[in-house]
Structure 1
Amino acid sequence: MGIDLAGMEKNPSGICIIEGDNILLKTSYTDKEIIETVQTSLPELIVIDAPLSLPRGRCCLEKECVCASGGHFRQCEVEIRRYGPVLPLNFRGMKMLTMRGISLKEKLEGYTLLETHPRTVQKMLGITDLIQYVKDRFELDVKPSAHELDGFLAALTGLSYLEDCYMELGDPQEGTIILPEKDCAILLEIIK
């Protein structure tokens, strides 16, 4: 399962579940809706487009806190910048997204949750037209939203993880971001 998590529950979060040759794309808003989808589908793995941890030495992301001297980036964000830009976690929108991601991770204790960055995944896989890419490979009843498509990229990254053809950026003690390896057999099968 891939989730493109919104920073606030009033905004849409895109979800993609890949099962065999089929995908389910849907939009959810609240944590309750997301958790219900997880509990119904029982995914082997959940990959989320949202930070799931704080930078080392930080207790929060408030600029006024004494912990702010700990920095605004985790090691994984420093490493992923070689592939493209990422925002500091203390930006308003990123702060909300990070805190929601951490909270959702706690609520989904018992499930395997990993973090990814769909824009980087799309760039690494050389996908220029994401909507067409999905339409060419799967039957869709309706046009997917941008959030559902990002959920798809997160789920695709999850497949690469399950096939053990992924890279992990960052420090596991602080938090990591996973990205697919370009030569992953299962992704090459889907990409062709």
Structure 2
Amino acid sequence: MVTVAGVDLRGSDRRPSGVAVISGRDLSVESLYSDEEIVDFLTRHRALVVAIDSPLSHSPSYRHVDRVMVRLGFRVLPPGWRGMSMLVERGVRLASRLSSMGVVVLETHPRSALKSSKCRGLGELVSKLGLVLPGRLTRDEEDAVVASAVSLMYVEGAVVEVEGVDGRIYLLPPVCGGSD
């Protein structure tokens, strides 16, 4: 049984980031602030794959992979936009730290991943995955759950890769029967 996780990262550690871990069919969700809290939580749960909702590379505007996402109908923000620089810097730093610990780090975009899953919402997605939501979640926690589902699909070899010359964004395969 491989433990996977998802992080809906905030640009500032003064605002909570959503963090979700899937171990078997158990789902744990937290709102955490500092990088240290996030790393400790992921380490404590022994997460081997972590999908992070943040661009994990710098660019002055849209990266090639972002333009591919837009062409596919997904709405993403470019790393170079004002207001994104703190998030990108934090994402790159967290990804580097986790990678140095042997964790596989994926870049994802939860809203796009939920859309690519063809599920009508988070409830349908977690039900299809055999998980149960642990009560009422914030939007950041919901996005972290979707990101953790991306990690799970990555481990199962069923993840969708959107590739550009400058990176990859991982999304969910169509796990539900609905349409867009």
TM-score normalised according to structure 1 size: 0.79
TM-score normalised according to structure 2 size: 0.84
1:83 counterpart residue number: 73
2:162 counterpart residue number: 169
CA-to-partner distance for each residue in 1:27-51, whole Å, 9 max, x for gaps?
A: 1011010011121111120111011
Mapped partners of 1:139, 1:156: distance in 2 = 12
- The equivalences for 1:8-157 within 5 A come to 8-55=12-59, 71-81=60-70, 82-108=72-98, 109=100, 110-131=102-123, 134=126, 138-157=131-150
Mapped partners of 1:85, 1:77: distance in 2 = 9
Mapped partners of 1:141, 1:78: distance in 2 = 35
Could you say what secondary structure the match of 1:127 adopts? coil
Q: Contact 1:131 / 1:144 at 8 angstroms: preserved in 2? A: no
CA-to-partner distance for each residue in 1:96-126, whole Å, 9 max, x for gaps?
A: 1111101111222221101111011111123
Gaps of 5+ in 1: 56-70
Mapped partners of 1:20, 1:89: distance in 2 = 34
Mapped partners of 1:141, 1:169: distance in 2 = 30
Q: Contact 1:76 / 1:175 at 8 angstroms: preserved in 2? A: yes
The structure having more radius of gyration, on CA atoms, is 1
Gaps of 5+ in 2: none
Identity of aligned residues (%): 31
Kindly report the root-mean-square deviation, in angstroms, between the aligned alpha carbons of the 2 structures.
Answer: 2.1
The structure-2 alpha-carbon separation of the partners of 1:40 and 1:90, relative to structure 1 and needing over 3 Å to count, comes to same
Mapped partners of 1:14, 1:99: distance in 2 = 18
The structure-2 alpha-carbon separation of the partners of 1:133 and 1:180, relative to structure 1 and needing over 3 Å to count, comes to closer
Q: Which AA in structure 1 matches 2:119?
A: I
1:59 counterpart residue number: none
Question: How many residues end up aligned between the 2 structures?
Answer: 168
Q: 1:141: Cα distance to partner?
A: 4.5
- Does 2:153 correspond to 1:160? yes
Q: Contact 1:77 / 1:170 at 8 angstroms: preserved in 2? A: no
The structure-2 alpha-carbon separation of the partners of 1:163 and 1:129, relative to structure 1 and needing over 3 Å to count, comes to closer
Q: 1:52: Cα distance to partner?
A: 0.9
Mapped partners of 2:89, 2:163: distance in 1 = 19
The structure-2 alpha-carbon separation of the partners of 1:180 and 1:6, relative to structure 1 and needing over 3 Å to count, comes to same
Q: Contact 2:18 / 2:29 at 8 angstroms: preserved in 1? A: yes
The structure-2 alpha-carbon separation of the partners of 1:141 and 1:162, relative to structure 1 and needing over 3 Å to count, comes to closer
Q: Contact 1:5 / 1:50 at 8 angstroms: preserved in 2? A: yes
